[in-house]
Amino acid sequence: MSTGQIIVVLSTAPIDRSLSNTLGNIATNLGLALKPHDQHGSVMVGSTYAQRWHVSRELAPTERDTFRRLAATLSLDLAFMAPTFKPEAMRVLAMDMDSTLINIECIDEIADFAGKKADVAAITEATMRGEITDFSESLRRRVALLQGVSESVLESVYRERLRPNPGAIELLTAANKRGLHTLLVSGGFTFFTEKMQHDLGFTQTQANTLEIHDGKLTGRVLGDIVDASGKALHVKEACKRLGCKKTAAITIGDGANDLLMMEGSGLSVAYRAKPIVKEKADAAFDRVGLDATLALIT
């Protein structure tokens, strides 16, 4: 059985050959043996250039951080994967929505129309960083600030401000073509996830429902809130229905409330994420698009 760990270097531009020397010096300083994982050098998958290296043992968190800090200075992203990872075994692609699949936090933009964006965004940021640990309470506090906002604002946010993040369309197209069960699981709102399902072809979506009365938001959420544990449960249940374990799932998120969903998955990706998420994820994308995921499972 293969041992050690695979470092996948990811870039939006061709990867310079001098990278091998730089990585080799870092590895030597850490007491690691480094060699190319294959003889093909850089390969291009979609819009992403990828290069794989094998190190002699699994890296400690501090060592991964050392490599990632180096990569940042070279405008590169990294993934750390087990040699035993089997791309063909992946059955589920589960993604967060706000600031992961799409470019905005929908609740912040709704609040902007009500002149309350700063108040709502402050709670959102504290929650994403993990400073507010009760997501359900955080969401209720933010939604309460939206009381009286016209439901037409939701359509305005969708039409005027919401855009898929780079590589999102390409990733979903390829995942659906491969027959993956694509799951959009969000602490946001069904108004937006349902539109994303229609536009991008998600197999399944799970999110929260805003209560609306007489054309205005009441400031309440209907039913159980999809929080961190809810996200993890939906991923687990999707895998169970397909007859596979969570190790057959790819999970992508950006905030602290995505960590439970990502834990134990076959491949976890932190997309332009908070530090606590990048620290724990297998891959951290700060420069490449979401479709770089395809370079990891090809």
Residue of 127 and 99 predicted with greater confidence:
99
1: pLDDT confidence band, cut at 50, 70 and 90? very low
Q: pLDDT tens digits, residue range 42-78?
A: 788 888 999 998 888 889 988 899 889 888 888 899 9
Q: Would strands 92-95 and 181-189 be described as parallel, antiparallel, or unpaired?
A: parallel
Q: Which is catalytic among the residues 98, 108, 258, 291?
A: 98
CB 123 within 8 A of CB 138: yes
Q: pLDDT tens digits, residue range 155-207?
A: 999 999 999 999 999 999 999 999 999 999 999 999 999 999 999 999 999 99
Q: Which is catalytic among the residues 16, 38, 96, 214?
A: 96
Total Cβ atoms within 10 A of residue 214: 6
Residue of 21 and 260 predicted with greater confidence:
260
Whether 151 shows a pLDDT value over 90: the answer reads: yes
The tokens describing 203, both together, are: 């197999």
Query: Does the annotation count 199 as an active-site position?
Result: no
Q: pLDDT tens digits, residue range 250-273?
A: 999 999 999 999 999 999 999 999
Whether 39 shows a pLDDT value over 60: the answer reads: no
Architecture of domain 87-298: 3-Layer(aba) Sandwich (3.40)
State the pLDDT at residue 279: 93
**Of 252, 278, 282, residue with least CA distance to 95:** 252
**Of 267, 239, 242, 240, residue with least CA distance to 253:** 267
Give this prediction's pTM.
0.94
Q: pLDDT tens digits, residue range 85-111?
A: 999 999 999 999 999 999 999 999 999
Q: Please indicate whether the domains covering 1-84 and 87-298 agree at the CATH topology level.
A: no
- Fold of the CATH domain 1-84: Alpha-Beta Plaits (3.30.70)
Q: Where are the domains of the chain?
A: 1-84, 87-298
Query: Does the annotation count 227 as an active-site position?
Result: no
